[in-house]
Each structure stands twice: as structure tokens, then as C-alpha cells.
């Protein structure tokens, strides 16, 4: 389910994506135990770790001075909690959108990467090469791409000429990069997205301009064991 608050019409908006520019900040959720244990999480609704909560707070402080128009989050708690840490610095609600959930990974959810490789080696290889292949009972990357495209159309049409944040997952960010830059989905794994990283796009017409990728500057003090201030 997605929730779009009522907003006033923006001057000059024609009702289409044509000639609208959106500054989009893609934020990956903070650290979870599944990340630490190298487990496939998918749509399993796991919480942030203590470090993940500190990372979320660091993202919130990093974006505190940004003029944001809307904060949109996956409705899974690891993303929603990260979005909440951002929203505390702005007079904005967190708008949940199920289209920004991580890909469903079916039977792989809860298994470690090593366990999946041991049991499904050939399927893993096919899935890496073909975005139409899915984990048993899960979604393909083509289906994920369709969700990202829907979300872009929905939120950009409601918030043209705006700065928006999507708090989401590595799979969604990978697919977003390919979609916005016009890159084949088979290249999605060439992009890395750290927990609580920020990737920035300028979306103009039907293509996107990548402004920054996987920015983790705000996390440096956390990595040294010192809380971000």
C-alpha cells in the first residue's frame, strides 16, 4: 500500500513527466542482523541493529539541512525506521510505498549466501545473467523494474520540481540505477550500495543524471567507533 498526502498544485506543472525535474535521493536502510550474517532477507520484515539505528540517525543528521518535499519509504520496518530518522528533522510524514520493498526472494529468504550457492548454484548463475529469472517463489528483476517505474511515475507526477527521498533496499537501488540511466539490468551488480548510503539523481524528462553514488561520508565516524555529530 502507498499513501500520497494531498498537496497543492505546483506552478507550471502540465500533469506529465515531460519537462519536470526531480531531485531524488535514494537511501539504503541501516544495518540489519541479516546483513551481518550475509543472509538473503528479501521481504522478511527484520529490524535494524543498534548500529543500523546509529547509521539511520547519521543519515538523518546529514539530510537535516536539505529542503525536502517528500519522504517515501518501503513499508518494511528496516526502511521505515531509517526514514523516520530523516523525518524527525523535517515537518514531513513518512509515506509508505510497497513498490519500494526489496525483491521477494521466496525460498531463499533466511538462507545465507553460502547456503543458497550450495543448493541452487545453477539457478543463481542464471538469475545473475537473466533478469527474468527469479528465486523459487520470488520475483524477477524485471518485475522489480516494473515496481520502480510505477513508483517513479506516481511520486514524480504528484511532486514535480521537487526534492524527494526514497528510503529503500539494495535491489531497488540497483534496478533504479539501471532504469534511470538506460542500462541493461544484467549490469545491476556493477553498483555497490552500502547500508545507510545516499545516491542522488537528477531526473529530467525520461532519463536520469547520476549526481553521486553510494555516498557514505556521513558514516565515517561510526566506522571508527565514534558517533556521528
195 φ/ψ angles, rounded to the nearest 5 degrees: -60, 135
Which residues are known catalytic residues?
29, 102
Angle (CA) 21-13-95 rounded to 5° is: 70
| Secondary structure class of 39 (helix, strand, coil) | strand
Residue 216, C-beta contacts closer than 8 angstroms, at least 6 positions apart: 194, 196, 197, 198
The number of CA neighbours under 13 Å toward the Cβ of 178 is 23
Give the separation between CA 152 and CA 147, rounded to whole angstroms: 9
Quickly tell me which residue has 547520476 as its cell. 210
Amino acid at each position: 500500500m502507498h499513501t500520497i498526502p494531498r498537496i497543492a498544485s505546483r506552478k507550471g506543472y502540465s500533469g506529465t513527466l515531460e519537462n519536470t525535474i526531480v531531485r531524488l535521493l535514494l537511501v539504503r536502510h541501516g544495518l540489519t542482523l541479516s546483513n551481518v550474517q550475509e543472509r538473503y532477507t528479501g521481504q522478511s520484515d527484520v529490524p535494524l541493529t543498534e548500529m543500523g539505528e546509529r547509521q539511520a540517525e547519521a543519515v538523518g543528521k546529514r539530510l537535516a539541512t536539505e529542503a525536502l518535499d517528500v519522504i517515501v519509504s518501503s513499508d518494511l520496518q528496516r526502511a521505515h525506521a531509517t526514514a523516520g530518522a530523516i523525518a524527525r528533522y523535517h515537518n514531513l510524514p513518512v509515506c509508505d510505498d510497497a513498490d519500494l520493498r526489496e525483491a521477494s526472494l521466496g525460498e531463499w529468504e533466511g538462507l545465507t549466501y553460502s547456503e543458497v550457492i550450495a543448493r541452487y548454484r545453477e539457478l543463481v548463475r542464471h538469475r545473475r545473467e537473466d533478469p527474468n529469472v527469479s528465486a523459487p517463489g520470488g520475483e524477477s528483476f524485471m518485475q522489480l523494474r516494473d515496481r520502480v517505474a510505477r513508483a517513479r511515475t506516481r511520486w514524480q507526477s504528484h511532486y514535480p520540481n521537487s526534492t524527494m527521498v526514497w528510503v529503500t533496499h539494495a535491489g531497488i537501488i540497483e534496478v533504479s540505477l539501471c532504469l534511470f540511466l538506460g542500462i541493461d539490468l544484467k549490469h545491476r551488480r556493477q553498483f555497490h550500495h552500502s547500508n545507510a548510503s545516499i545516491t542522488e539523481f537528477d531526473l529530467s524528462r525520461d532519463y536520469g543524471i547520476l549526481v553521486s553514488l553510494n555516498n557514505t561520508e556521513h558514516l565515517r565516524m561510526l566506522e571508527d567507533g565514534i558517533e556521528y555529530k
